[in-house]
Chain A
Amino acid sequence: MKIIICLLMLILGAGGKRFFEEIQPQPELNAYLPLGKRFEQQFIRGVLGGWRPVVADIAWLRVTTSWESRQWNRLYENIRIATRMQPESLIFWDMGAWHLAWNASLAERNNRLESRMEVRKEQELYWVEQGKNLLEEGTIYHPTHYKLWLQLGLLHQERRHDYRAAYECFLKSSQFDGAPSYVARMAGYALEKQGDPEAALNYWEKLLEKSSHLSDRSLIEKRLLKLKKDSSLDPLKPLP
């Protein structure tokens, strides 16, 4: 009798366990990550347990001290540790890329210890590229979060002056949940900066059609008027 009860408990328990495993949705990250990266993440989780975010945070504290002491390679290494330990934390990708593409690269550009301008320029570009690579990797972990695409767009626009890439990133960012309405407008500004007024006008027209918020519409209309005026089109007529 006892054995039968044990068997029943075994079957019921195992069945219930499997039921929950079947209905449990896969963690969001698993849907996007390649298998190797998933195993890597789970290994880190298993080995470090609850200390995993703490290790990431301590690496992040070292990022701050490296920034203060202008040790850019150390800063980069610690950003990599933090993002590897806790890739689900957006702040590490977002701020890490800012440190690299803005702080490190501008510091290299203004590095008075280096007299050769071309070396300074090369170093500046190197850190901008590292920042871009970091954000691109971040978007693998967070493909549907507007913030990293927005940051990537800003990086392309401000640091690489690649307005086409910036437009694409802003556009992508604007399509995700939680994206503020200004992100869609930033895509329009990037198109303008790219030197393609026709594409920009078309974009603003489409954005105006989609926008329902009064203040957004008024801003877009103002922009459209200005663009039409600049390209000597009749502001009251629709685009050809």
Chain B
Amino acid sequence: MSSLYLRLSTLTGLTVRDLLRQNVLYLILIPAALTLLTLPLFTALTFEEQIKFMRDFCYGTMSIFGLFLAIIATAQSLANDLEQKTIFTILAKPLNRWEYLLSKGMGIGLILFFALIILTVLSAGLFAYQEKGLLEAAIGNATDRLSSQDLQRFRDQLWNPALLMAVLILYLKLILMVGFTLLFSTIASSSLFTIFTSLMIYLIGHFQSTAREWVMGSEGLSVGMKWGVGLLAVILPDMSFYEGAERILLGATPGWSYLIPPLGYTFFNLLWILGLSTWIFESREFR
């Protein structure tokens, strides 16, 4: 057990170092940070509108740049090992191929985690920077004097702890995309193909639940067709599991149990993805 832990942690560390060396993290993180820094340039009319904009803008930036980081870093990682022939050195060691794939995923997961932490801290800094101005504007716009409860309500809106849950849900969504990209990496030899296919899966994943419901609810559909659709539904992800983050951005304050469905869904998806990727990777020959 300890030797498995040692192998996984060593390979994960190697993946992290490799990604840092490739500068993929910085190439995505720096534009994301610069985008976030443009936030004070946008000013809305009311306090509520401004708060909504700040939340949406920070979450949107994390979401888009996080998606690019998840897909590009994963697609590059395996392709680079193949291109630079380092995979021969690694696989020549007493190491299972699933361990190699899992540690790749874990390394990218760690990088994503730190990237999201950096962007969250930056967003919190921007919130704090704008807080005073926002409260002054809220006081200025108020027709009556604002009570201390009103001010507290404004502060609570700005510093809603549930926002951290939205970031966690986003992280789970990105981890799922890492899994899919890793799966395509084991099949494809071109990282461009992997990136394109992963983006397509991301897009199609948003239609999965409605399409499944529509097809399954249609009358006169053959059993074979229904099985086919069922199989597709197993393969394709259902991104509606991660829509809870957007509800939090709109002001919902759910409990931590809200995380269970996306957490469970991501876990089981990663399980079958790892099983299939290992199967494909085991049968792959490297020359």
Interface residues of A (CB under 8 A from B): 2-3, 5-21, 23-24, 26-27, 30, 35, 38-39, 42-43, 45-47, 49-54, 56-58, 60-61, 64, 88-89, 91
Contacts and interface: CB of A to CB of B under 8 A. Distances in A.
Nearest to A13: B272
B42 A61 contact: yes
Given A24-B240, A46-B205, 18 more contacts: A6-B282, A9-B274, A10-B272, A13-B273, A14-B272, A15-B268, A27-B209, A39-B210, A45-B239, A45-B243, A46-B204, A49-B60, A49-B63, A50-B59, A50-B170, A54-B53, A54-B57, A91-B49
Contact of B52 (A5, A7, A10, A57): A57
A78 to B, nearest CB: 13
Nearest to B244: A27
A18 B45 CA distance: 45
Contact of A24 (B241, B274, B278): B241
Interface in B201-231: 202-207, 209-210, 212-214
Secondary structure of the B contact surface, majority rule: helix
B207 A39 contact: yes
A13 B45 contact: no
A14 B238 CA distance: 13
Interface of B: 42, 44-45, 48-49, 52-53, 56-57, 59-64, 67, 96, 98, 170, 202-207, 209-210, 212-214, 233-234, 238-241, 243, 246-247, 249-250, 261, 264-265, 267-276, 278-279, 282
A91 B272 contact: no
A38 B210 CA distance: 7
B206 A43 contact: yes
Contacts of B170: 50
Nearest to A65: B45
B64 A51 contact: yes
A88 B264 contact: no
A96 B244 CA distance: 25
Contacts of A89: 52, 250
Given A13-B269, A13-B273, A60-B44, A50 B63 contact: yes
A19 B261 CA distance: 10
B265 A3 contact: no
A33 to B, nearest CB: 9
Contacts of A6: 98, 275-276, 278-279, 282
A14 B261 contact: no
B270 A51 contact: no
A89 B64 CA distance: 21
A132 to B, nearest CB: 23
Contact of A50 (B64, B241, B247, B267): B64
